[in-house]
Structures are given as C-alpha cells and as structure tokens.
Amino acid sequence: MLVGPGLRAAVVLGLFGLLAGSFTNVVIYRVPEGLSVVSPPSACPHCQARVRPWDNVPLVSWALLGGRCRDCHAPIAVRYPLVEALVGAVVAGAGWRFGLSWTALAEAVMAVGLVALGFIDFDHMVLPRRVVYVDLALVALLVVVAAATSGRWGALGVAAVSGAVPWALFYLLNWLKPQALGFGDVRLALLIGFGLGWLGAAYAFLGFVLASLLGSVVGVTLILLGRAGRRTMVPFGSFLAAGAIASALVGSPVVNWYLSLVHLH
C-alpha cells in the first residue's frame, strides 16, 4: 500500500520537518556558543549579511544559490542542507510509521531534538541541558496528550518506567566512572527511555542496544584504522541519538520478532 494514510502523513509532516531542520541548524550552531536561538536573525558567518527570507527556504535556497552566500559568495557548508534533509526525512518517517497522530508528533519532536543533540555532541562533546530539557518537556506534553486522547494510561506508565530505569543505570555509571560517561548522557537516557518507552519498553531497550552496537563498531573501526586509541573520547550521545531514532522509526520488525520469541517460549 504505497498511497495511503502513511504516505499522506509522511508528506505533510515532512514539509514541517524541513522547516524544523532549518531551526535545528540554528540550535546546533548557536546553543553551544551560549547564543539565543531567536535573535539575531540568521546571517552569513563570513560577511555578516542578513540571510533574506527567500534565501532561507530549506534545501531549495542552498541549491539555487549554488551553495554560496548571495552577498560575498563564500561557500555555505553542505552540512546545512544535509541537516535539513535529515530532519525532514526523520519527521516524514514518523508520519509514515505512526500516521497523523499525537504519537507521530511526540516521536518526531524527540527525533528532531536528538538530531540536534547528536550533532552538538559530535562537534563539542557536550549535550546542552536546555536542549535536552526543552525536548523532554515537549515530548512529555505530547505523550500525555496522546495517552489522554487514546486512554492508554498504562502505556504512559510504561514510558515513565522506561525513562526512569536507564536514567538510574546511567546515573550509577556516571557516579562510578564520570570520565567514561558524562552527566549529559544521564539526562539524555531519560529523554530516550521515555520517548521510546511510549512505544513499548522493548523499543527503549532496542534503542540502547543499537547505540552500544553502533558505538562499538565505530570505536573498533577507528582503532583498527589507527585513528583512535582506547582512551580516545567518543561522543556517546551521538550514538544514543542515532540508536533511538532507528529504534523508533525502523525498529518494529526487531521488536516484533523479539516479542514473538518471548511469547513462544
């Protein structure tokens, strides 16, 4: 079924996703610098010329301008349109997977926050508190609305426990080995556990498993390539973000397979 409610929701949410992607770029570049995300308006980092509204259309403007500033012709990093496309795709994916629903919005908002946090952690090895908390507050609000409109209060309880358990485990790990796991990851575990837990505890579990696998594969690859040693710091938050987004959007076959095993035996 290619044309259906899933496709319609994917297109509608995907367009909002592109706009969210534009804002995600602002968050990624400004929050670590301690700058406001609302003012001043976007400007070229090279010549400081204000970005005109019609030059700020996600993906389209970058392509039309040939990846250069209209005023000084300095190149604009390809990462801007890539982040816009990534966020657009992730939000469209939430629409495809969950239709036009409160759950789709909750998972989309979680995923957008995670893309921002994943890039910030990759760039700066920090997970800014205000990004985690603002995203967590929005996700919690949307999940509560989803629970209220569907009457699935039990699932809300599962989400709360799915957030609290990894938070407590990460808290303990951070207390035992703060150099191995920063406190930013502790807060992030709460956001991811809760957001995925709304889909079911198995999704939260899968998200953390995928993050660990991804982190291990990348870490071992870097060591084999001689690009990293055992003590090299890795942005674990970036792996947590990627694992969580994958679990929410494409994790259902794995979760269903796992649950069928548990029920069969």
Size of the site for Zn ion (CB under 5 A): 7
Q: Which residues contact 13 (CB under 8 A, 6 or more apart)?
A: 91, 92, 94, 95, 100, 104, 108
As a three-state string, the secondary structure of 176-241 is HCCCCCCHHHHHHHHHHHHHHHCCCHHHHHHHHHHHHHHHHHHHHHHHHCCCCCCCCCCCHHHHHH
Q: Rank residues 75 and 178 by Cβ distance to Zn ion and give the closer one.
A: 75
- Smallest separation (angstroms) from Zn ion to the CB of 33: 19
- Smallest separation (angstroms) from Zn ion to the CB of 75: 10
Q: Rank residues 44 and 106 by Cβ distance to Zn ion and give the closer one.
A: 44
Q: Does position 65 bind Zn ion by CB under 5 A?
A: no
Q: Rank residues 64 and 259 by Cβ distance to Zn ion and give the closer one.
A: 64
Q: Rank residues 69 and 132 by Cβ distance to Zn ion and give the closer one.
A: 69
47: enclosing H helix or E strand: none
Buried b (16+ CB within 10 A) or exposed e, 211-247: beebbeebbeeeeeeeebeeeeebbbbbbbbbbbbbb
Distance from C-alpha of 124 to C-alpha of 48, rounded to nearest angstrom? 24
For helices 236-250 and 252-264, the axis angle rounded to 10 degrees is 70
Q: Does position 46 bind Zn ion by CB under 5 A?
A: yes
Q: Does position 213 bind Zn ion by CB under 5 A?
A: no
- Smallest separation (angstroms) from Zn ion to the CB of 136: 36
Q: Which of 11, 35, 37, 47 binds Zn ion (CB under 5 A)?
A: 47
Stretch that binds Zn ion, among 39-47, 104-112, 153-161, 213-221 (CB under 5 A): 39-47
Q: Lay out the site mask for Zn ion across 69-108 (x = CB under 5 A, - = otherwise).
A: x-xx-x----------------------------------
Query: Which residues of this protein are in contact with Zn ion, per CB under 5 A?
Result: 44, 46-47, 69, 71-72, 74
